[in-house]
Structure 1
Amino acid sequence: MSATAPNIAGPWFQKVPQPGTDADFAALRRLIEESGYHDEGIRGRLKIESVANYSAPPEGGRSIQDPLDAMIALFFDCGFVEEAKLAAALPSGTVPLFDRLGLLARDHAPQGMVFATAAILPAYGVWTLCDRGAAPDGSRTPYPPDIVYPPVFDTTQSFMAELPSTPCDSMLDMGTGTGVAALRGARQARQVWATDITDRSVLFAEFNRRLAGLENLTVGMGDLYAPVEGLTFDRIVIHPPYVPAKVRRADHVFAVSGDDGEQVIRRTVEGLPQYLRPGGRFHSLQVATDREGETFEQRIRKWLGDAHKEFDVMLAVHTRLSPGEYLANDQNRLVEESRNWLALWERTRTVAMVYATLLIERHEQPRQEVTRRAVRGEGYTRSDLEWLLEWHIALTRPDHVEMLLESRPVGDPQNELLVAYRLRDGQFQKQEFRLEIPGPFRLSLRCEDWLTKLIPDCDGVRTWREHFERAKRDNIIREDVPIEEFARGLGVLVSVGALRLPDWRPVAVTVRNRTDGASSTGG
């Protein structure tokens, strides 16, 4: 903006969107569509790779030649715009429409200028009204404690990438913010609920629901499950805050999660026995802690209480940092904030901060529970974690040994075998074999000599039973190795990515994929 632009005298976040009528929202939706104010249109006009790459408007403001220019200047740049130019570029009646919906403000603006009370950003195929990042003159002011964050940041992108796109009957999105996860989920679910503890988020999420014209999405205000008491779901999702209250202002609802930073995820998991249906799945992305003698997933099992044997717990770790590494990762962190973190870690005996995707499934039928942690590697996608869960479920079935013996494994050409030699008695001798698995789950696996001979022979033609017979015949394994033990070895090798089964497919069909109109009020 121009250096002569006046400062905003009052907070820019005080005005909130208004309910409007169905006709108002239909008109706004039509304007957005016809103006080309979508992801591709904005990127093309601004010549940017992503809408997350905010571009400062040209000095003196953006030239407004057509409706797309006007929408970008108002809702993307979020700067001052001349009202006369805005009215001239947009269809007749648009400025009054914006006023009815509470999208325009004139207080503290230069004479004849207006500015948007919030941003409208395309994200994941939907439009989202969210709080703006700065005052209309470009200056930074303190965020409101209940700010509704734009859904285009890296953390939100990572969370959205972990959510399933398969059909389901009933979905719950907690801490919904703009409602973006619920808006996208409404494409797959028969019915979606979105809840948030702040009035502001509920107003924005409801605005976005009406802008999308969705009838199968209900927005409710309250703490976590409170607005949906008595309902059950086969898909529950949350992207919880993780900052301890003593580290940051306790009224920063968007960031703070109790005394230890895990209050929200803890209470969410504690509610799963009541709210997640058999066969249903819970998805989240959060920062949590590994503590002395207790990993994050072990703590999750405690939170599930007496019902924990009814649930599988899967963790895909994005990063795991020691307390020192975590503090060093943010050079802008205040000294006082760092001290508060250190005091908390000492009190909770924290050994690492874990940024991870959490997937929990409730069993449809009694069986052995699964708990597994893996580290994300090259080429990882959400479906890899789901596949790994299905594979471990298959290994709990009574017929799993026969299934393994009839499988036809293949080696992964991306894997590397590293051999360590040490000088012994005047010559180098092999000391260790290590299989480096780059993805989709990264692992460095120490393996025995016989595996280095067996894995290269796995070409997808021979069954594992045939490999067993050949390995005994060629003295690759001991004669007394039971076939059941050899079979279970394949289960481990597939789990860690040392071998793959291209033809293996999960056989279970659960209620998480059901769209038969089952009630969301029953267990």
Structure 2
Amino acid sequence: MVFRDFAQEIPVRIGTDEEFARVATALKEARFDEETLLSTLKIEKMCDLGSVPLDKVDFTNVSERLKLFIRFFASTGFVPRADVEAALDRATLEAFLSLGILRVGDYGEDQFYSTVFLYPVAGFLIASDRHSYPDGSKFTPSPDIVFPAIYAGTLRFLEIIPKSTAEDALDLCAGSGIGAFVLGRTSVRAVSSDITERATVFARFNIALNQLDNVEAVCGDLYGGVVGKTFDRIVAHPPYVPSLSDTTIWRDGGRTGEALVHRIIEEMPQYLRRGGLFCIVSIGLDTKEGLFEERVRGWLGEARDEFDIIFAYADERTPKQVLSTLAEREQLKPDEIRELAQAFADAGTDKIHYGALVIRRRKETDEQEPWTMRARLSKETKGQDFEWAFAWHDRSLQPNFLDEIKNARPRLAPQLQVQVTYVVHEGTLVPAEYLFDTDRPFELKAQFEASMIPVIMRFDAQHTTAEVYDAASKESELPGNFTLEDFAQSIAQMIERGILKKG
């Protein structure tokens, strides 16, 4: 018997519509979905799938078919023939075998196993490569292994992807295709593009499994598969791990991690339409040349002034801290660490950020100056928050903006939290410091003087900004030289930062 190594060959097969329909129906009827799996396995997020020993799971109220799929795709071990044939009818089992999702015979005629990691994410069923053999033997991954779409970084990427409607969308470094699938919900057409044939086949497989007729998968080096086309949305979650080689395609991002990030942004103006949005989740370096977002504007070349840029970072580390993590995780040798350290030094690296870069190409009629913003990415920040920030910036440039704010009826933002610090004054506790904390649109911590708290508390969605100003002025809660225009400007900033919500 010849062992067929699914780690080195492409395990899945593009079968018939009927076969895909049978497999998808079986999984859906078994309730192989995110909500059911999270509840059954007692996990909080899909990235924890596979971390729970099945002997610790209560399967009392779980159907035999769902239990079978959990054993195949969450545990990824062997399942005896008797259990498989008891849960699946012959036609459905043949469909799983024909598409290459399940196999039997490599480890004996009684041992069935899955060749892929299959899971629900973002409302889709996604197949990607396994990271182990079913018998527990030493696993040798293919250099073009298709990364799971349920890891924390990918899940964050899916939240950041723009959700507004568009005609054409492109997902670069697409892997399993999940980014294009999410884009396809709000775009007329979406394209999944990856450099490897393996990823392209997996994406086409997943397109068929989810019966998506507005998504296609192409193979090419970054934009190589879509030359001559343009898009309203372009997103990317590229490899960005600093490395001395590029053999591990899903991971390696060049010596400083920015190799692909730079190329993607540099070539983007040829493919992004006026009024379009670009989004990339990756690392970005602050160097002697400038902050990451400033360097990005330079990469945009002659078209640089046509773009507005927001960079929201979640993590900030020094090169030394990044190299320390790499040395431990990747088991790098001392000379390899020194070489990477030199690469960061040659680039003049100060800080290394991980976050989301969102760029908007303004419409031809726009005559405003290019705008750049840096923010902190919170766990609650979503793609629509970036779009809101762009729209709010546009409104702030309108000649009647302050009049709009004066007539608005703001209220306290629902996600706002306030921490009050008390100090002892003349033998009693008195509030001395108010720290406002919000996570939408971005993470913000702002300190206010105690004198401003009664003013802020007046915003109840019932009174206009002008009315609050008049009431606060009568109670001497504002400085005497503080005009209504000054007050409206301050309120606009509070709305922009997520402290108040415009009514």
TM-score range, shorter chain: 0.7 to 0.9
Counterpart for residue 400 of structure 2: 399
Cα distance between partner residues in 2 of 1:489 and 1:48: 43
Whether the 8 Å CA contact 1:321–1:353 is kept in 2: the answer is: yes
User: 2:500 aligned with 1:500, yes or no?
Assistant: yes
Deviation at 1:140, TM superposition (A): 4.5
Identify if the C-alpha distance between structure 1 residues 12 and 108 changes in structure 2 by more than 3 Å, giving closer, same or farther: farther
Residue 191 (structure 2) aligned to one of 190, 193, 216? 193
Cα distance between partner residues in 2 of 1:464 and 1:419: 29
Residue 281 (structure 2) aligned to one of 262, 265, 285? 285
Identify if the C-alpha distance between structure 1 residues 117 and 143 changes in structure 2 by more than 3 Å, giving closer, same or farther: same
The AA in structure 1 aligned to 2:196 is T
Whether the 8 Å CA contact 1:15–1:117 is kept in 2: the answer is: no
Counterpart for residue 514 of structure 1: none
Deviation at 1:118, TM superposition (A): 1.4
Whether the 8 Å CA contact 2:194–2:219 is kept in 1: the answer is: yes
The AA in structure 1 aligned to 2:443 is R
The AA in structure 2 aligned to 1:307 is A
Q: Pairwise CA RMSD of aligned residues?
A: 3.6
Whether the 8 Å CA contact 2:6–2:115 is kept in 1: the answer is: no
Cα distance between partner residues in 2 of 1:444 and 1:40: 33
Deviation at 1:96, TM superposition (A): 3.4
Counterpart for residue 388 of structure 1: 389
Deviation at 1:123, TM superposition (A): 1.2
Deviation at 1:192, TM superposition (A): 0.9
Whether the 8 Å CA contact 1:174–1:195 is kept in 2: the answer is: yes
Show the 5 A alignment for 1:367-446: 367-377=368-378, 379-410=380-411, 414-416=417-419, 435-440=435-440, 441-445=442-446
Counterpart for residue 5 of structure 1: none
Residue 89 (structure 1) aligned to one of 87, 90, 104? 87
Deviation sequence 1:177-211 (CA, Å, 0-9, x none): 11112223322221111100011000100001011
Show the 5 A alignment for 1:140-289: 140-246=138-244, 249-289=245-285
Cα distance between partner residues in 2 of 1:47 and 1:378: 22
Cα distance between partner residues in 1 of 2:274 and 2:401: 23
Whether the 8 Å CA contact 1:418–1:436 is kept in 2: the answer is: no
The AA in structure 2 aligned to 1:14 is E
Deviation at 1:11, TM superposition (A): 6.7
Counterpart for residue 343 of structure 1: 342
User: 2:331 aligned with 1:334, yes or no?
Assistant: yes
Whether the 8 Å CA contact 2:455–2:477 is kept in 1: the answer is: no
Counterpart for residue 323 of structure 1: 319
Deviation at 1:362, TM superposition (A): 1.6
Q: What SS does structure 2 have at the residue aligned with 1:93?
A: helix
TM-score, L = length of structure 2: 0.84
Identify if the C-alpha distance between structure 1 residues 442 and 49 changes in structure 2 by more than 3 Å, giving closer, same or farther: closer
Identify if the C-alpha distance between structure 1 residues 419 and 39 changes in structure 2 by more than 3 Å, giving closer, same or farther: closer
Cα distance between partner residues in 1 of 2:92 and 2:421: 66
The structure in which a higher percent of residues are helix is 2
Whether the 8 Å CA contact 1:419–1:434 is kept in 2: the answer is: no
Identify if the C-alpha distance between structure 1 residues 466 and 41 changes in structure 2 by more than 3 Å, giving closer, same or farther: closer
Whether the 8 Å CA contact 2:495–2:502 is kept in 1: the answer is: no
Q: What SS does structure 2 have at the residue aligned with 1:184?
A: helix
Cα distance between partner residues in 2 of 1:80 and 1:140: 16
Cα distance between partner residues in 2 of 1:436 and 1:40: 34
Residue 11 (structure 2) aligned to one of 4, 16, 32? 16
Uncovered stretches (5+) of structure 2, i.e. residues with no partner: none
Deviation at 1:316, TM superposition (A): 2.2
Deviation at 1:147, TM superposition (A): 0.9
TM-score, L = length of structure 1: 0.81
Deviation at 1:222, TM superposition (A): 0.2
The AA in structure 1 aligned to 2:444 is L
The AA in structure 1 aligned to 2:227 is E
Identify if the C-alpha distance between structure 1 residues 115 and 478 changes in structure 2 by more than 3 Å, giving closer, same or farther: same
Uncovered stretches (5+) of structure 1, i.e. residues with no partner: 1-7, 423-429, 504-523
Deviation at 1:338, TM superposition (A): 4.3
The AA in structure 2 aligned to 1:386 is E
Deviation at 1:496, TM superposition (A): 2.9
Whether the 8 Å CA contact 1:15–1:102 is kept in 2: the answer is: no
Deviation at 1:339, TM superposition (A): 3.8
Aligned pair count?
484
The AA in structure 1 aligned to 2:19 is D
Counterpart for residue 519 of structure 1: none
Cα distance between partner residues in 1 of 2:83 and 2:200: 33
Cα distance between partner residues in 2 of 1:83 and 1:211: 24
Identify if the C-alpha distance between structure 1 residues 258 and 291 changes in structure 2 by more than 3 Å, giving closer, same or farther: same
Q: What SS does structure 2 have at the residue aligned with 1:102?
A: coil
Identify if the C-alpha distance between structure 1 residues 86 and 295 changes in structure 2 by more than 3 Å, giving closer, same or farther: same
Counterpart for residue 29 of structure 1: 24
Identify if the C-alpha distance between structure 1 residues 272 and 79 changes in structure 2 by more than 3 Å, giving closer, same or farther: same
Q: Which has the higher contact order (CA 8 A, sep 6+)?
A: 1
The AA in structure 1 aligned to 2:273 is R
The AA in structure 2 aligned to 1:392 is H
Cα distance between partner residues in 2 of 1:97 and 1:9: 19
Identify if the C-alpha distance between structure 1 residues 114 and 409 changes in structure 2 by more than 3 Å, giving closer, same or farther: closer
Q: What SS does structure 2 have at the residue aligned with 1:33?
A: helix
Counterpart for residue 112 of structure 2: 114
Cα distance between partner residues in 2 of 1:300 and 1:420: 46
The AA in structure 2 aligned to 1:398 is P
Counterpart for residue 134 of structure 1: 132
Identify if the C-alpha distance between structure 1 residues 434 and 323 changes in structure 2 by more than 3 Å, giving closer, same or farther: farther
Identify if the C-alpha distance between structure 1 residues 32 and 439 changes in structure 2 by more than 3 Å, giving closer, same or farther: closer
Q: What SS does structure 2 have at the residue aligned with 1:230?
A: coil
Percent identity, aligned pairs only?
29
Whether the 8 Å CA contact 1:130–1:204 is kept in 2: the answer is: yes
Identify if the C-alpha distance between structure 1 residues 80 and 269 changes in structure 2 by more than 3 Å, giving closer, same or farther: same
Deviation at 1:134, TM superposition (A): 0.8
User: 2:299 aligned with 1:303, yes or no?
Assistant: yes
Deviation at 1:107, TM superposition (A): 6.3
User: 2:46 aligned with 1:53, yes or no?
Assistant: no
Deviation at 1:360, TM superposition (A): 1.5
